Structures are given as C-alpha cells and as structure tokens.
Amino acid sequence: MNKTKEILVTGFALFSLFFGAGNLLLPPLLGYNAGDNWFWVTLGFMITAVVIPILGILAHAKLQGTLYDLGKKVSPTFSLLYCVIIYIISIAIPSPRTASATHEIAIHPFLGTSPLITSCCYFALVLIFVLNRSKVLNLVGKYLTPFIVLILVLVIGIGLFSSDMIMNPSMFKTPVVSGLLEGYQTFDAIGAVVVGGVVIISLNLKGYSSYTDKKELIKKAGFIAGTGLFIIYAGLISVGAFYGSEILVDGTLSNDMQRANLLRGISIATLGNIGAVFLSVLVALACFTTAVAIITGTADYFKGLFKNSQKAYIITAVISCLFGVLVGQLDFHSIIVIALPVLMFIYPITIVLILLNIAPKKLTTPVVFKIVVLITFIFSIPDFLQFIIDKKQLVSVTNLIPLSKHHLGWVVPAILSFVVVNIIKTSRRN
C-alpha cells in the first residue's frame, strides 16, 4: 500500500474508531436544546470532542508507546493504576453503550427482540474482529468508514437544505460550557488514549519500524480524522438546531424529545421511510467500530502487561465482550446517567495528561507532571461530588474555586500550578 493510501486508510479508521454511539446521538439533541446559541455550544463541544482527542492521538504519535507511557512521568504506580481504571471504565461504559444504542435504534424498532439477544450477537461479532486485530485498520478504514460518512453527509446535507431555519430559544445559560461538558459524554479523550495505542500496534504489525515515518503518518491521519469529526459534529448540531423544531413525534410536536427519537425523526424527515433503515445501518456500524477499538485496546494492554501473552489478549477480549453483554442490556439514557460522575472524575486527569505529553519536554519534567496531575485530581473532587451528593453541601467549597459552579473547578488550578512550577524551576537555574 502506498504512503498516501495508508494515511487515508488510517485517517478513516481513526475517524470510525472514534465515532460511536455518543458521537452520533449526542450532537442533534445538543443542537436542539442550544437553539439560537448553537454556534457557541458547537465551539465548546469541539474543544472536548475534537481538539483534545486529536491532541491525544498526537501525544501517541510522539510517544509511540502504550497508554502506560502517558502517565509514567507521574510514577509507575500511578500510571499502572490509571491504565487499569481507564480500561475498566472503557469496557464498563462506552463499549456496552454501543450495544445499547444499536438495540434501541437499529434492532428493536424492526424486530422487537430483547436486548439480551442483541448484546449476545453484537459482541460475538465484535470478538471475531478483535481476534483478527491485525486486519482491524484495513477493514474499518477501507469498507466501514466510507459508508458511515456517506449516510451522515446525506442526512446533514438534506436536513440543512430543506430546513426553514427556525430555531428554538436556547435552553443553556452558558452555551460554551454546556457544549464543553457534553463533549465529555463522547468519551473521545479517553478513546484517544486507548485508540492511539491500537494504531501504534497495528502499524507495527504492518511492518512499520521507523519512528519518524510512524509519527508523520499518525499526525496526518489524525488531521484527517479530526477534520471529519469537526464537519460531522458541526453538521449534526446545526441540523438539530435548525431542523429539530420541525420534527414531529407521533404526529405532534414533542418538547421532550430524547436523543434517539430526534435523530430518527430527522433521518425520516430528510430521507423518507428509507431514512429509518439508513439510520439503523449507520448506528450499527458506528457503534460496532468503536466497540472493536475499545476492546482491542484493552486486550492489547493486558497482553503487554502479561509479557506479550496472546492468551492474555484472548482472555481479556472474551471477558470484555461478556461484560458488554451484561451491561449492554441497560437503556442508553441509564448508561449516560451512570457515566456522568465517572467522567467528572477521570476526564480532567486524562485531558491534563494529554496536554502535558504534547508540551515541550523542558516544560514537562516529572516534577511538573506530579504536581499538575495532583492539583487537577484534588480540584476535580468537588466537580465529581456534585453528581453524588446534594450540591448545597458543597456551596462553601465551590464558591471559592473559579469555574467550579460550571464543573470545571480543576482548570484554573491546573494552569496556575503548571506556570508556577516552571517559574520556580527557571529561577533556580538562574
């Protein structure tokens, strides 16, 4: 395969591995709720759903290792614990969520079967792909992604051109922040640190040995994937904002449209009855590729943890799929609710690790890593607790921390700690 084709295939594969259940179902409802503030909501959403994840891919291009390498400057113990937590979260929430979305949109409306049957069949197919991991990038990049993109472009294009451009008033007081936090639910930053390792190993299996060649290929592929995500997200959000108010549910205008209903309504309105079929195929493919990426990344990690044992790879893949069958029977909304406190706990640390790993080495010594990650963890605790206990009990704390009311209390302390530690280091040298 020539170099340009390899970049395109890898870029398409990255896009498809990112683009799963949340990526498809979240933006339209976000746009619908954003109404006339859809642009600012899109801006916030892009930060956590596109910019940070692609920076995560670039961090992997720089390190060319595994997820463990992202956190090893903090300490080996921290990095090991972080990896285990990330992979447990990955197989416990985003992976099963793909099966749930597939059942609700692609299977149940047509066949009326139970979620157990869907989950069993779904993860059986996922396991087949995962056990043939050397072919994952080619299969996804060559065949699945183009079909996914084609359907999305049709839905977005027809939706925008046929819309009367009538928007509802925005439901958000702080649209940028609302978009930014909704971007957490895509799991794309976590996906980046997991999928990045999958790409590195896949390229190694293809015979790539040059650090420079791999870095260049991954950077260009990341740009392609990021561009694709940006266009599709912006399109889905704008369609939700411009077209959502026209969608009828059961013959009447619904003020309480859920994600699946809104997306289904848009698809049918733009493409006719065949839109429901196209949507079903789209959801199934988008979710499937993400599940394959998550479980492959998890199996790769535990394979390396147990001295490159293929048996460990197979056992991890099987356990992950069995876990997916169990959790995947929950409905999509329930998994979203469960995910919120988990994301508030792990997302800030993941974002900080990504940013530190792409920053210049002279600014990111082990001391900087340790202090910034510790500060991020401490100041994200109130954000996490706001979804566990009564918010009123935390008012005295959140009033003292900038942006804490917006669940971003870790941002300012993390930036200040990074700057202060580097100033102290520089002054000591002088």
Task: For residues 59 and 216, give the distance between their C-alpha atoms in angstroms, rounded to a whole number.
Answer: 12
Residues whose CB falls within 8 Å of the CB of residue 108, separated by 6 or more in sequence, listed in order: 115, 118
pLDDT tens for each residue of 156-183:
887 777 666 667 778 888 899 999 998 8
Domains of the chain with CATH codes: 3-341 (1.20.1740.10), 359-430 (no CATH)
Q: Could you tell me where the DSSP H helices lie in 359-410?
A: 366-385, 395-398
Residue 314 has pLDDT above 90, yes or no: yes
Structure confidence at residue 140 (pLDDT)? 59
Q: Which helix (H) or strand (E) holds 355?
A: helix 332-358
pLDDT at 254: 44
Long-range contacts formed by 251-258: CB under 8 A, 24+ apart: 257/29, 257/32, 258/29, 258/333
Helix 21-34 and helix 175-184, axial crossing angle in degrees, nearest 10: 160
Distance CA 132, CA 135 (A): 6
Q: What is the pLDDT of residues 181-215, one digit of tens each?
A: 988 888 888 888 887 877 887 777 777 778 888 88
Residue 352: its pLDDT value, please? Answer: 95
Q: Using CA of residue 19, residue 25, residue 27, residue 28, what is the dihedral sign?
A: positive
Q: Is the separation of the CB atoms in 179 and 41 below 8 Å?
A: yes
* Per-residue model confidence as pLDDT tens digits over 232-282: 899 889 888 887 655 544 433 344 346 666 777 777 776 777 777 877 877
CA 213 – CA 203 distance, rounded (Å):
10
Q: Indicate the SS3 state at residue 347.
A: helix
Q: What angle do CA 141, 143, 147 make, to 5 degrees?
A: 105
pLDDT at residue 253, rounded to an integer: 35
Give residue 376's pLDDT band: very low, low, confident or very high (50, 70, 90): very high
Q: Which amino acid is at 247?
A: I
- Lowest mean per-residue pLDDT among 32-46, 121-135, 254-268, 359-373: 254-268
Q: Within its chain, how far is the Cα of 46 from the centroid?
A: 12
Q: Read off the amino acid at residue 288.
A: F
Please state, as a whole number, how many other Cβ atoms lie within 10 Å of the Cβ of residue 112.
7
| Nearest alpha carbon to residue 404 among 416, 415, 395 | 395
Assign 416 a pLDDT band (cuts: 50, 70, 90): very high
CB 313 within 8 A of CB 306: no
- To the nearest whole percent, how much of the chain has pLDDT over 70? 90
Distance CA 29, CA 35 (A): 10
Among candidate residues 224, 175, 223, 275, the one with its CA nearest the CA of residue 58: 223
Q: Residue 219 corresponds to which tokens in the numbers above?
A: 């950077």
Residue 130 near residue 295 (C-beta atoms within 8 A): yes
Concatenated DSSP letters of 105-151: IIIHHHH---HHHHHHHHHHHHHHHHHTGGGHHHHIIIIIHHHHHHH
Report how far residue 63's alpha carbon sits from residue 65's, in angstroms, rounded to the nearest whole number.
Answer: 5
Short-list 418, 397, 101, 53, CA closest to 233: 53
Spatial neighbors of 387 by CB under 8 A, at least 6 apart, are 340, 341, 344
For a pLDDT cut of 90, what percent of the chain falls above it?
Answer: 27
Overall pTM > 0.75: yes
Report the alpha-carbon distance of residue 350 to residue 85 in Å, rounded: 11
Q: Quick one: 207 exposed, middle or buried, by C-beta within 10 A (0-12, 13-18, 19+)?
A: exposed
- Give the three-class secondary structure for 326: helix
What DSSP letter does each residue of 13-72 carry, written as one string?
Answer: HHHHHH--HHHHHHHHHHHHHHGGGHHHHHHHHHIIIIIHHHHHHHHHHHH-S-HHHHHT
Report residue 391's pLDDT band, with 50, 70 and 90 as the boundaries.
confident
